[in-house]
């Protein structure tokens, strides 16, 4: 059997984050400013944020914006409203001068994350670091260094609107990786602050060293043997044992700033110890600071060596150059070590004296916090933020005594952030807290300094003057109290100089699912118990609390009311026409208030006047089918287009002017309207442009010479300001573009500021930017500035996309990229030369529209005849790619951000697809695609384009506000015509729409009860650990006021509500002390009193954590969700309750439960039991099986059981009922740490799939005919496949059977990972598998992969027991997803080599999407 592994929900956990000041050109050049925004400051890009988790890499802009501050009222000096004063002082004057009297509108600076690029790489990311190479002096941009699992480093840069690979450095074949200890290997990537060196830690205490060139003198000697543009010297592997024989067991390392040569701090432990050995070996850690001098053949002189550091040392933090030294974080305190080796410590709990003999300050001992899992970052020269594992933020102060650190103070908690996985400074007064368990935060650092009085001068710089005291300095330097000086004296600011109080407040939140602990399929219900749609509930979180992510495939259709008048409509247009009879709403602006409705069906068009009435009023009727309609002349008229004519209607639908009368010309195929322009295309491809005169209220045809025949046309407006044009290059400037002398001078100038751009460099780069064209404002643009610039786009029959500016019709873009489905394209064709390639897959519709939430981004949506849908984002360009351009060029790069194939049955569909853009539906702006398989196209600032499908066909769609709702829309589906709305709680940031509920507790397991349609969850509460001896007596440990007590988990079972108020705890059950839920499952057991003989229960397996000195045990519980009625049978007192049916003690932890044929299966340590429910109140044992060590999973299919073990892989077992006994069918004999095991079924065949803790998937088969199977006693391994992140849980669902099928012939496995991803495994037919396998081979060889990684090597599992890897049975769905991103020419060439076509491959991938 073959299968395909795909990603349903990409990983969102963040493990690494990095801030780079200048990674993209937008940080150097100013962003385009919308033409409608004139009174606010420009949006500034403060830098770039790069985050990574698992295989996911994302690049953001941190945009600095000015937002108005809302104030209730402004009071004057005498407490009187300034507005009232302004009104009373108007007098007899004609103009109102009260506006000048009012206080100016205040703005506050905020920062938001803006996604630029996101990639799924073919490797697990293990580190991020920033570099500036020798080329950074030319373009001013930083470089990104990324490390991967298996000892790889890739140098990346920003080029042509996306990430580009500079080089890849691999060390996977070095001896340390082949023979070293990979189990304890933790890769660490570090770079020198001045970008001279990059190192990657390797096993066996070794370092991979990559010298980076910064001087032109370093580059000249290498030109003979290396490429001129190579920004680095040959790398090498350094064994630290050759540097110093005592350096071993590296705990952490980092580069220190402020040194002339690269200086590295090493934290290591020459000897091992543990808590039971502290009386003999306690302080076993050492710190060394060494200089890396590679110029003299490789010498590493020792600067500082410190021994006797605490055995609980965690990591190092480099101090700013002003403070010097390094900070060591332990579990019990903070230690500062300066360059001379002097140590100053501060304890944060009383366990310090039990662990180390170092002296420390006791003033912070009462904080009683543990620093395990904490992260630290300096926000000032002497102030550090300490973020604990649970998200509590503490400020650490370094108080000086002269030039050395005197004391360290740890303040009380000042803020709360998500549990951190990484913390990085993100520009001036901002930090980013990355979280692997959920949402991450970009936070503002609020720093307030205290005012101190020193020598008669207070903290505000005000001196206490006597009556006749004269300050002579004021005559020379100015008075700092004078408002005209702005608080400056001699050019310097004298503000408060006391200690700083630091706190964090959120700027922006980056939503993420995070680590998934458990998931369960269920059915959503209403308050009346009506079951609506299936959903998947995933529990994420863990450290502080949990979040319930309720996922569903597609956006639900939430109906408000029926619209029977449009039950047969084929197209609708809700128009915001300015009508006197239109009703006004407070929250809806005039430009969005829909007052007129045009509906078309067959060959007739009806016009309705909209109001809040239930039945709209029909006010007109027009013969002919409507192609398009839009407001015209500033919403006072309607431009209406039919296949026969183009007409202008008034606000009541009456004819005003016939613009294009009926004639014998070919009928109109399509048209586009953007006030005051109308462009139409006839069936023969001819194009006609009309321009309206707002003053004369007339429309006339515009002269358009050299009109090409077009397959699609569009006239659109841009209100974002991104559509700009470059001025033609002057002859005097062309010599600066290609000259190598300018490059060499830029390198020499950039060597003085390696890590940050100077103002001179920024000015030089901005001067090299091509000039932006500025058009003289016309009458139309002056009358309606909110419309923005307007453009005409034409796609010729030869496949050339032309964009012309309006109204002069100047050609500003020519490209074949749209018709060839290129990954990106710009104005890349020379004027006068058009493309001549054959257009095989024409474009049926082309739409330019903004998409986004908050900040709108212009996009180009192209729908091809084959059903291919390409979405391009229009990104601003700041530099030109060509050496010279002789005409105006559009300063926009179109980059493909989404592609998919809309299913078309049999090549043609009964209901064609149509792209309909919409604006502001519940804050969302995007497009809706009607047809057989309709889709929503949505996006947001920090997330990419998302496509959400509907379950049934949609014939018509339109956004409306006539009922007063901002999130309402009309849709006609198979069930009828409805006014619907988007739920306000719906989250569309992820690839699967979901509702998110933040809980107060941490939950570890969840189960769905089918009878009551309620969910049951297991909460985990952190409580002080209580130790018991064998007799059950309490053992007393060390006692102290500031000692942190040891903790463990205690579970409770909770029943959640459903309906309109979901996920509210309505009942629960508390377990015993030290008892924790290990497994929970919804089971169906025999019950004589139930209808059908079976009843649904919830089985719970628990275990006791008594510590290491006492044996553990467990319990098996059976609960039932029952409905209760209040006293006297009143319905108001009814509800659902959790009732415990039985409790069965066990001698070992019950780590797995399930059910089979009405019986209960449970593990009991190394045994498996099957039990029957007797009288619904007790369990009766039927059979048992002695097996392995610790059962991690137990899955049932018909009469077969898969039992996974933590160390011994899994067994295949069958249950016999007469008599009751277990029969072992076969086993997997390899030593594998199994996490989940599942059955994969496909048309009568079954395979067994297991996942281990390393993220490796193994597919096995039961084949007694194979000689190596030992007559079937051994399961045969068929495929090994690396999935990436480790799997936490899995669920199996079956395809719905048809009427002819007795059983569901196919299953699908859904996996949840520790990185927050949902993946799926679906079986593939042999013929389809062979075709897709050939496509995968072509993509591995011919497609360009980010960071130069090999997809095949990433999926290969290292197995020393096999002569060659077995990786041919599972297809990589992420790799096959790159096929749609390839240009059509490359697709055609690859398909020619394997004998198929691109549409067939795309259809195969569409069919393998799964059933959920």
Cα–Cα distance, 1343 to 407 (Å, whole number): 58
Q: For the chain, what percentages of helix, strand and coil (3-state, to nearest 5) are there? A: 10, 45, 45
Kindly list the distances between the CA atom of residue 501 and the CA atoms of 402, 460, 528, 1247, in Å, as whole numbers in the listed order.
22, 16, 53, 61
**Is the Cβ–Cβ distance between 1391 and 1307 less than 8 Å?**
no
Assign 1158 to helix, strand or coil: coil
Tokens of 946: 């998302």
**Is the Cβ–Cβ distance between 200 and 264 less than 8 Å?**
no
Tokens of 465: 């003057």
Buried b (16+ CB within 10 A) or exposed e, 471-487: eeeeeeebebeeeeeee
Tokens of 177: 């990786």
Most distant CA pair in the chain, distance = 113
Comparing CA positions, the residue from 943, 857, 775, 849 lying closest to residue 34 is 857
* 98 membership: H or E segment, kind and range: helix 98-101
**What was the pLDDT predicted at 1134?**
59
**Is the Cβ–Cβ distance between 795 and 710 less than 8 Å?**
yes
**What was the pLDDT predicted at 1248?**
95
Tokens of 817: 């990229």
> What are residue 649's DSSP bridge partners?
638, 655
**What was the pLDDT predicted at 1063?**
93
**Is the Cβ–Cβ distance between 268 and 188 less than 8 Å?**
no
Q: Is 1094 exposed, middle or buried (0-12, 13-18, 19+ CB in 10 A)?
A: middle
Q: End-to-end CA distance of the chain, in Å?
A: 21
Residue 1086 has a CB neighbour count (10 Å cut-off) of 17
Tokens of 1366: 């077995």
Indicate if the alpha-carbon torsion angle 1402, 1407, 1408, 1412 is positive or negative: positive
| Segments in the chain below pLDDT 70 | 36-41, 70-105, 216-229, 296, 451-498, 581-583, 729-756, 769, 771, 773-787, 829-839, 881-885, 905-909, 1126-1134, 1298-1302, 1304
Cα–Cα distance, 722 to 893 (Å, whole number): 10
Cα–Cα distance, 1405 to 338 (Å, whole number): 60
1369: which DSSP letter?
Answer: S
Cα–Cα distance, 211 to 114 (Å, whole number): 33
Cα–Cα distance, 413 to 410 (Å, whole number): 9
Residue 140 has a CB neighbour count (10 Å cut-off) of 24
1298: which DSSP letter?
Answer: -
Comparing CA positions, the residue from 1127, 1103, 1105 lying closest to residue 1116 is 1103
In terms of DSSP bridges, do strands 857-864 and 868-876 run parallel, antiparallel, or are they unpaired? Answer: antiparallel
* Contacts with 1254 (C-beta within 8 Å, 6 or more apart), sequence order: 1233, 1286
**What was the pLDDT predicted at 899?**
92
**Is the Cβ–Cβ distance between 828 and 835 less than 8 Å?**
no
**What was the pLDDT predicted at 945?**
95
Q: In what order do the strands lie in the sheet with 824-825?
A: 824-825, 892-901, 868-876, 857-864, 843-851
Please write the tens of the pLDDT for every residue from 1254-1293.
999 999 999 999 888 888 899 999 999 999 889 999 999 9
Please report, to the nearest 10 degrees, the dihedral formed by the alpha carbons of residues 642, 645, 646, 647 taken in order: -100
Cα–Cα distance, 751 to 472 (Å, whole number): 45
* 1387 membership: H or E segment, kind and range: helix 1384-1394
Task: State how far Cα 930 lies from the chain centre.
Answer: 28
Provide Rg for the chain, Cα atoms: 35
Kindly list the distances between the CA atom of residue 863 and the CA atoms of 409, 870, 1037, 1315, in Å, as whole numbers in the listed order.
63, 7, 71, 34
Cα–Cα distance, 160 to 138 (Å, whole number): 16
Comparing CA positions, the residue from 806, 816, 810, 799 lying closest to residue 712 is 799
Kindly list the distances between the CA atom of residue 125 and the CA atoms of 54, 317, 401, 1279, in Å, as whole numbers in the listed order.
6, 22, 43, 25
Q: How many helices (H) and strands (E) does the chain have?
A: 17, 91
* 1249 membership: H or E segment, kind and range: strand 1245-1252
Strand boundaries in 941-1013, DSSP class E: 943-949, 954-959, 968-973, 976-981, 986-987, 994-998, 1002-1009
Comparing CA positions, the residue from 1090, 1078, 1064, 1166 lying closest to residue 1115 is 1078
**Is the Cβ–Cβ distance between 526 and 532 less than 8 Å?**
yes
Buried b (16+ CB within 10 A) or exposed e, 1-16: bbbbbbbbbbbbbbbb
Phi-psi region of 324 (alpha: psi -120 to 50; beta: other; left: phi over 0): left
In terms of DSSP bridges, do strands 1370-1372 and 2-9 run parallel, antiparallel, or are they unpaired? Answer: parallel
What DSSP string runs through 514-572? --EEEEEEEEEE-TT--EEEEEEEEEEE-SS-EEEEEE-SS---EEEEE-GGGTT-SEE
Cα–Cα distance, 76 to 82 (Å, whole number): 6
Q: In what order do the strands lie in the sheet with 531-541?
A: 516-525, 531-541, 546-551, 994-998, 986-987
């Amino acid at each position: 059997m073959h299968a395909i592994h795909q990603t349903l929900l990409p990983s969102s956990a963040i493990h690494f984050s990095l801030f780079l000041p200048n990674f993209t050109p937008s940080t150097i050049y100013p962003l385009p400013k919308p033409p409608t925004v004139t009174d606010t400051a420009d949006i500034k890009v403060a830098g770039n944020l790069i985050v990574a988790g698992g295989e996911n890499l994302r690049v953001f802009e941190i945009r600095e914006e000015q937002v108005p501050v809302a104030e209730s009222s402004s009071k004057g000096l005498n407490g009187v409203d300034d507005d009232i004063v302004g009104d009373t002082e108007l007098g007899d004057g004609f103009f109102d001068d009260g506006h000048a009297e009012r206080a100016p509108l205040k703005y506050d600076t905020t920062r938001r994350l803006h996604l630029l690029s996101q990639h799924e790489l073919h490797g697990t990311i293990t580190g991020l670091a920033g570099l500036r190479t020798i080329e950074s002096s030319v373009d001013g941009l930083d470089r990104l260094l990324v490390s991967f699992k298996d000892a790889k480093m890739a140098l990346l840069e920003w080029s042509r609107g996306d990430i580009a690979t500079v080089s890849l450095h691999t060390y996977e074949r070095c001896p340390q990786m082949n023979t070293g200890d990979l189990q304890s290997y933790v890769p660490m990537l570090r770079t020198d602050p001045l970008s001279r060196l990059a190192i990657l830690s390797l096993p066996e205490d070794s370092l991979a060293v990559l010298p980076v060139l910064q001087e032109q003198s370093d580059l000249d000697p290498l030109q003979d043997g290396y490429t001129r543009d190579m920004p680095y010297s040959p790398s090498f592997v350094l064994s630290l044992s050759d540097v110093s024989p005592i350096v071993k067991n590296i705990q952490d390392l980092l580069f220190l700033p402020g040194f002339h040569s690269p200086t590295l701090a090493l934290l290591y432990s020459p000897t091992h110890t543990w808590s039971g050995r502290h009386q003999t070996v306690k302080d076993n850690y050492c710190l060394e600071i060494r200089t890396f001098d590679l110029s003299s053949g490789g010498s590493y002189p020792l600067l500082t060596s410190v021994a006797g550091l605490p055995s609980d040392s965690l990591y190092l933090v480099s101090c700013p150059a002003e403070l010097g030294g390094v900070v060591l974080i332990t579990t019990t305190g903070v230690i500062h070590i300066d360059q001379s080796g002097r140590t100053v410590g501060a304890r944060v709990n009383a366990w310090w004296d039990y662990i180390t003999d170092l002296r420390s300050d006791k003033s912070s001992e009462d904080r009683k916090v543990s620093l395990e899992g904490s992260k630290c970052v300096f926000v000032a020269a002497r102030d550090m933020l300490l973020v604990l594992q649970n998200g509590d933020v503490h400020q650490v102060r370094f108080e000086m005594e002269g030039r050395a650190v005197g004391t360290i103070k740890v303040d009380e908690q000042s803020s709360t952030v998500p549990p951190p996985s990484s913390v990085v400074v993100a520009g001036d007064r901002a930090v980013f807290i990355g979280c692997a368990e959920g949402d991450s935060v970009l936070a503002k650092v609020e720093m307030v300094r205290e005012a101190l009085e020193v020598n008669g001068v207070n903290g505000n710089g005000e001196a206490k003057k006597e009556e006749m005291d004269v300050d002579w300095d004021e005559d020379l330097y100015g008075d700092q109290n004078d408002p005209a000086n702005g608080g400056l004296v001699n050019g310097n600011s004298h503000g408060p100089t006391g200690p700083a109080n630091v706190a964090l407040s959120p700027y922006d939140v980056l939503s993420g699912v995070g680590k998934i602990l458990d998931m369960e399929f269920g059915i959503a219900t209403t308050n009346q118990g009506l079951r609506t749609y299936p959903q998947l509930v995933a529990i994420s979180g863990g450290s502080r609390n949990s979040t319930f992510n309720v996922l569903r495939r597609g956006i639900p259709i939430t109906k408000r009311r029926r619209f029977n008048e449009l039950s047969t409509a084929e197209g609708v247009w809700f128009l915001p026409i300015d009508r006197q009879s239109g009703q006004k709403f407070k929250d809806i602006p005039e430009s969005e208030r829909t007052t007129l409705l045009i509906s078309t069906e067959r060959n007739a068009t009806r016009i309705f006047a909209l109001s809040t009435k239930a039945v709209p009023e029909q006010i007109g009727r027009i013969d002919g089918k409507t192609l398009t309609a839009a407001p015209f002349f500033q919403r006072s008229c309607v431009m209406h287009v039919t296949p026969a004519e183009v007409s202008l209607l008034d606000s009541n639908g009456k004819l005003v002017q016939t613009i294009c009368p009926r004639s014998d010309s070919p009928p109109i195929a399509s048209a586009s309207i953007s006030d005051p322009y109308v462009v139409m295309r006839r069936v023969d491809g001819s194009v006609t442009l009309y321009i309206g005169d707002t003053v004369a209220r007339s429309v006339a045809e515009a002269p358009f010479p050299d009109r090409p025949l077009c397959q699609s046309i569009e006239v659109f407006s841009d209100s974002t300001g991104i559509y700009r044009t470059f001025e033609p290059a002057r002859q005097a400037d062309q010599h600066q573009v290609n000259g190598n002398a300018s490059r060499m001078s830029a390198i020499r100038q950039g060597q003085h500021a390696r890590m940050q751009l100077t103002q001179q460099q920024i000015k030089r780069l901005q001067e090299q930017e091509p000039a932006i064209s500025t058009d003289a404002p016309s009458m139309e643009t002056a009358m309606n500035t909110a419309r923005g610039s307007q453009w005409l786009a034409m796609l010729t029959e030869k496949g050339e996309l032309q964009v012309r500016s309006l109204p002069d019709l100047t050609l500003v873009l020519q490209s074949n990229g749209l018709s060839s489905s290129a990954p990106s394209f710009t104005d890349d064709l020379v004027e006068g030369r058009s493309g001549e390639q054959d257009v095989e897959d024409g474009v049926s519709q082309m739409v330019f529209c903004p998409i986004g939430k908050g900040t709108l981004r212009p996009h180009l949506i192209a729908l091809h005849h084959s059903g291919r849908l390409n979405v391009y984002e229009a990104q601003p360009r700041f530099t030109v790619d060509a050496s010279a351009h002789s005409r105006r060029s559009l300063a926009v790069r179109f980059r493909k951000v989404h592609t998919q194939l809309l299913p078309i049955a049999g090549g043609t569909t009964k209901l064609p697809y149509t792209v309909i853009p919409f604006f502001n539906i519940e804050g969302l702006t995007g497009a809706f695609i009607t047809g057989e398989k309709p889709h929503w196209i949505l996006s947001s600032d920090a997330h990419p384009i998302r496509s959400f499908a509907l379950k049934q066909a949609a014939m018509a769609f339109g956004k409306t506000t006539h009922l007063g709702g901002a999130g309402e829309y009309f849709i006609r589906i198979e069930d009828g015509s409805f006014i619907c709305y988007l739920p306000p709680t719906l989250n569309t940031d992820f690839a699967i729409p979901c509702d998110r509920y933040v809980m107060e507790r941490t939950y570890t397991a969840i189960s769905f009860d089918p009878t009551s349609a309620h969910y049951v969850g297991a909460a985990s509460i952190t409580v002080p650990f209580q130790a018991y001896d064998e007799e059950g007596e309490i053992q007393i440990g060390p006692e102290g006021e500031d000692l942190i007590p040891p903790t463990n988990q205690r579970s409770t079972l909770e029943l959640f509500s459903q309906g309109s108020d979901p996920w509210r705890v309505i009942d629960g059950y508390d377990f015993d002390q030290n008892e924790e839920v290990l497994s929970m499952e919804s089971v169906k057991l025999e019950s004589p009193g139930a209808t059908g003989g079976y009843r649904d229960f919830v089985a719970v397996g628990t275990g006791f954590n008594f510590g290491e000195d006492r044996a553990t045990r467990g319990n098996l519980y059976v609960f039932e969700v029952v409905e209760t009625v209040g006293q006297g049978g009143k319905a108001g007192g009814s509800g659902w309750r959790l009732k415990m049916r039985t409790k069965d003690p066990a001698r070992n932890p019950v780590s797995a439960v399930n059910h089979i044929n009405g019986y209960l299966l449970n593990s009991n340590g190394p045994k498996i039991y099957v039990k029957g429910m007797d009288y619904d109140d007790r369990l009766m044992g039927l059979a048992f099986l002695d097996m392995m060590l610790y059962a991690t999973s137990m899955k049932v299919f018909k009469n077969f059981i898969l039992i996974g073990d933590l160390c011994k892989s899994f067994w295949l077992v069958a249950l016999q009922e007469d008599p009751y006994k277990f029969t072992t069918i076969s086993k997997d004999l390899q030593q594998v740490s199994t996490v989940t095991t599942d059955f994969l079924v496909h048309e009568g065949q079954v395979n067994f799939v297991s996942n281990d803790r390393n993220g490796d998937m193994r597919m096995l088969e039961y084949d007694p005919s194979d000689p190596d199977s030992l007559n079937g006693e051994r399961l045969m391994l068929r495929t090994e496949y690396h999935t990436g992140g480790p799997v936490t849980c899995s669920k199996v669902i079956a395809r719905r059977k048809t009427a002819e099928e007795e059983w569901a012939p196919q299953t699908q496995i859904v996996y949840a990972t520790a990185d927050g991803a949902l993946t799926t495994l679906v079986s593939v037919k042999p013929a389809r598998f062979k075709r897709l396998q050939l496509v995968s081979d072509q993509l591995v060889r011919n497609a360009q992969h980010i960071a130069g990684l090999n997809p095949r090597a990433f999926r290969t599992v290292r197995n020393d027991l096999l002569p060659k890897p077995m990786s041919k049975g599972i297809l990589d769905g992420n790799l096959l997803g790159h096929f749609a991103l390839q240009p059509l020419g490359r697709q055609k060439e690859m398909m020619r080599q394997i004998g198929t076509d691109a549409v067939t491959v795309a259809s195969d991938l569409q069919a393998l999407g799964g059933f959920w």
